[in-house]
């Protein structure tokens, strides 16, 4: 049943609404970065970010609005983006991917979202997180081969 229920989140802006729209997504992202900066388990990925964390917060929040089916706020302000390409300069292996997903998972768990949406959201976020890891690995392999 849960599977049939959660399928609705992929339609139109259902996910954006389930996350509380821009206000809910900005709150999620703020708490995500607060957690990342205050918990030693996430120190490594926190330190990978540029000093201007307000910019990182704005970028991720705007990206997630569009990615969840809401307004394309990232491209409005920053232009086009490919998530794997935007992370090519970073050292993201499984450990860093899992840090990001754990930090996000713990933050999502604290949000006033429906339980089936929390599960759906984390399943969906695994896809770009893994795509980042894979892109970084492929680049490393092609560099090692030359
Ligand atoms: C796999 C684990 C991930 C790690 C370790 C990670 C880490 C980072 C870091 C360190 C930056 C700042 C890069 C810089 O400015 O130099 C960044 C930027 C960003 N990340 Fe991630 N990230 C991960 C996954 C994701 C995922 C899954 C998403 C989206 C669902 C995402 C969305 C973004 C966005 C939108 C930016 C801003 C890109 C830009 O405008 O240049 N990240 N990430």
In this prediction, residue 47 carries a pLDDT of 96
pLDDT, tens only, 117-145? 999 999 999 999 999 999 999 999 988 88
CA of 83 from ligand 1 middle (Å) equals: 7
Q: Which helix (H) or strand (E) holds 60?
A: helix 53-67
Residue 133 alpha carbon, nearest atom of ligand 1: 1
CA of 86 from ligand 1 middle (Å) equals: 7
In this prediction, residue 92 carries a pLDDT of 97
pTM over 0.85: yes
Evaluate: CB of 125 within 6 angstroms of ligand 1: yes
Residue 100 alpha carbon, nearest atom of ligand 1: 2
Q: Is 54 helix (H, G, I), strand (E, B) or coil?
A: helix
**13-144 belongs to CATH 1.10.490.10:** yes
pLDDT, tens only, 31-86? 999 999 999 999 999 999 999 999 999 999 999 999 999 999 999 999 999 999 99
Evaluate: CB of 96 within 6 angstroms of ligand 1: yes
In this prediction, residue 146 carries a pLDDT of 74
Q: Whose CA is nearest to atom 37 of ligand 1?
A: 59
In this prediction, residue 1 carries a pLDDT of 46
Q: How far apart are CA 25 and CA 18, in angstroms?
A: 10
CA dist 115 → 17, 19, 55, 121, 128 (Å): 14, 11, 30, 10, 21
Q: How far apart are CA 135 and CA 54, in angstroms?
A: 26
Chain centroid to CA 64: 7
């Amino acid at each position: 049943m849960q599977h049939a229920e959660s399928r609705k989140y992929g339609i139109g802006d259902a996910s954006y609404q389930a996350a509380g729209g821009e206000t809910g997504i900005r709150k999620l992202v703020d708490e995500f970065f607060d957690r990342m900066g205050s918990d030693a388990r996430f120190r490594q990925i926190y330190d990978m970010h540029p000093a201007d964390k307000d910019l990182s917060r704005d970028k991720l929040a705007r990206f997630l609005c569009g990615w969840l089916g809401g307004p394309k706020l990232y491209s409005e302000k920053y232009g086009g983006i490919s998530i794997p390409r935007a992370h090519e300069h970073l050292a993201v292996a499984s450990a860093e991917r899992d840090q990001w997903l754990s930090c996000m998972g713990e933050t999502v768990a604290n949000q006033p979202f429906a339980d089936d949406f929390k599960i759906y959201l984390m399943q969906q976020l695994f896809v770009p997180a893994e795509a980042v890891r894979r892109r970084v690995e492929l680049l490393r392999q092609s560099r090692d081969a030359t």
